[in-house]
Amino acid sequence: MGVTLCGYLRCANEDEASRVRAALDEHIRLTRAEPGCVSFEVKATDDPLIWSVAEEFTDAGAFKAHQERASNSDWAAETKGIAREYSVKGLE
């Protein structure tokens, strides 16, 4: 089994949610193209300020490479300060 991340992206207000919507499609496209990405889903919930997040990568190296790329991306800049509640398994 690889590395999985699941949880929620929780916006505090509509401004934050608008920033997520504006940047999300490109973030998903880039992530799914990364080596080792098995699946990557960020989906709206019934609450317009909350998205569910589910990621799977083949191994710790692929997951760490994703984290590095994402932390230096437009996505990171646009969503800075937005609450994330994630659980990661498979890095032990």
Residue 90 CA to residue 92 CA, distance in Å, equals: 6
Q: CA 82, CA 63: separation in Å to the nearest integer?
A: 21
The confidence score (pLDDT) of residue 70 equals 96
Question: In this predicted model, what pLDDT tens digit does every residue of 52-85 receive, in sequence order?
Answer: 999 999 999 999 999 999 999 999 999 999 999 9
Domains and CATH numbers, the chain: 3-89 (3.30.70.100)
Looking at the chain, the whole-number percentage of residues with pLDDT higher than 70 is 99
pLDDT on residue 32: 98
The DSSP symbol for 70 reads H
